[in-house]
Amino acid sequence: MSCCGQSLCNNDGFGFKKTTTPLSKLSTSNGLSTLDTTTNLPDVCVINRPCYNGGTCQSFNDSYRCNCAAGYLGKQCEYSDGKDTSFMVIFQEGLSSSPPTPKILVASENTTRLSIRYFNENKIHTITMDKSNTEYNLSKSVLPSDGIHVAGVELHSDEGINVYGFFYEYQNSGGYSSMPTRFASTKYIIPSLPVFYRYKNMIALTPVYHNTVVSINLKLKSGSVTYDNKQYSNNDTIRIMVNKYNTFQLSTTSDLSGTLVTSSKPVIVVSGNQCNFAVPYNIHLSDCNPFIESVLPTNQFDSVFITPYISTRLNNTVRIQVINSTNLTIKTGNKTISKTINARGFFDFYYNTISFISSSDDILVMSYPHGLSGYKGDPFMMTIPGVNQYLYKYDFVVPIGLDSFISITVQSDAINGFLLDGNPSNNRSNVFSISEGLYNFSTFSMPIKTGFHHIEHRQNIRFGLWVYGNRYADGYGYPAGMAYKTQTN
């Protein structure tokens, strides 16, 4: 028996090879997946101790089953549900003419005490958050500019929560789902798009520990980057040392897609743009809008994705970013595309309702829903987690001030049975489905009120969930949450 590699192997070098089992086979009556339940390995509970994160192993005949501790899931309990107690939230530079109001949105099922440490202060602010109090305005000191600045906040809570970084300004909003500090890592590949006019693409990062050496190997389609009075071109490497409670920002008018960030110790990374259309200027329908998104480290990538239906949006740009040379299969409508993308390259395509993506190696997928005519909604930037990163249930927050929606992707035989805040929820107008091999998925969208929400499925089915919204010349979107790998290289 050979080692399967990556997070599916245990410390003894044995485990499970990747499977093409459809998600329609993934659920059982107790909320575990059959990828959680049966695999033909003799005496594995005693020999290999395959269950991670406090999961207990039950063996019977030649099979075993992991019963996961609260907050964990997966066939070996190798995924966390993302609720955590420690976060580092950073932003990037806003438009100088109209700096936004930075916020945190906090999803907590119970009342929680939240400690906030501004990077530029040596004191702790303590606040209380609950279902009726989900937003907290931050000082604009958290907004950096190019170079190294004490700009950001460190958060600690007394119970597991979900946190979203958000900036709010008339016609200039945006947000992202904040990755818990425990999943910060040392290797990231940057997603971005071509710039519009003089509005810059930006990378911002903050280290978890002092004395962190960061290397940024640039991938630039054109132009150069200037830092510390020195000019850097494509394939040049910028090396800096950054301490904890400092944020480093780098900006350029070039597309940064494929730029590689590595570090001696874990860092948190966000990327985005001051104002972008997500489409060439000559075909845009709306105004430009700021983009911001938390960048997943390469050890949190996945290989199978379903893009969600975004209600009111007529089209979406998807950018697939690879780290290694990768074979892609993309299905949208009746069209199937097969492509090989070189290391650190990317591939773009448009879709309007649903698409399917699979890859030979783990990849990063970003969606950029296009703006609406008549300034009814601006474009935004949003991560698409893979199907292995879906959760059984979500606590999430919808920001105030915009007309908001949720989008769901789920196996096609489970489109009914969702419970939103404890009530059956079928307030949807259109369902779009796609099939590819053993995968059969559907997606739909429905309006949602501001504030805290909880959603799950009666049958303990895993599903993907995104939150997004519009108002005049504005828009935002982010994944409601995702499962994070806990066993990574």
Per-residue DSSP letter, 46: H
Contact 436, 395 (CB under 8 A): no
Contact 90, 247 (CB under 8 A): yes
Nearest alpha carbon to residue 136 among 104, 90, 175:
104
Burial readout 289-315 (b: 16 or more C-beta within 10 A, e: otherwise): bbbbbbbbbbbbbbbbbbbbbbbebeb
Q: Phi/psi class of residue 74: alpha, beta or left (left: φ > 0; alpha: ψ in -120 to 50)? A: left
Residue 196's pLDDT is 80
Residue 471's pLDDT is 85
CA distance 194 to 287: 16
Residue 380's pLDDT is 86
Residue 42's pLDDT is 58
- Which residues does residue 382 pair with via DSSP β-bridges, in sequence order? 367
Residue 280's pLDDT is 66
Burial readout 113-127 (b: 16 or more C-beta within 10 A, e: otherwise): ebebbbbeeeeeeee
Q: What is the pTM of this model?
A: 0.89
Quick one: tokens of 420?
């939103």
**∠ Cα 321 323 327 (to 5°):** 75
Domains of the chain, residue spans: 1-80, 84-294, 302-485
Residue 199's pLDDT is 86
Residue 475's pLDDT is 85
Strand, helix or coil for residue 298: helix
Residue 370, Cβ neighbours under 10 Å: how many?
Answer: 24
List, in sequence order, the alpha helices (H) in 154-288. none
Tens-level pLDDT at each residue, the chain (489 residues): 333 333 333 333 323 333 444 444 444 434 444 344 444 545 778 888 899 999 999 988 778 899 999 999 999 999 999 999 999 999 998 766 667 899 999 999 999 999 999 999 989 999 999 999 999 999 999 999 999 999 999 999 999 999 999 998 777 789 999 999 999 999 999 999 888 878 889 999 999 999 999 999 999 988 899 999 999 999 999 999 999 999 999 999 999 999 999 999 999 999 998 776 776 666 666 667 688 899 999 999 999 999 999 998 778 999 999 999 999 999 998 899 999 999 999 999 999 999 999 999 999 999 998 876 777 768 889 999 999 999 999 999 999 989 999 999 999 999 999 999 999 988 887 999 999 999 999 999 999 999 999 999 999 999 999 999 998 878 899 999 999 999 986
Instruction: Give the C-alpha distances (Å, rounded to integers) separating 423 from 416, 426, 456.
Output: 12, 10, 10
Structurally, at CATH architecture level, domain 1-80 sits in Ribbon (2.10)
Nearest alpha carbon to residue 271 among 252, 291, 244:
291
Contact 70, 159 (CB under 8 A): no
- Which residues does residue 419 pair with via DSSP β-bridges, in sequence order? 424, 456
Task: Tell me the per-residue pLDDT of 50-98, one tens digit each, with 9 for 90 and over.
Answer: 999 999 999 887 788 999 999 999 999 999 999 999 999 999 987 666 6
Residue 221's pLDDT is 87
Tokens 């009556």 found at: 29
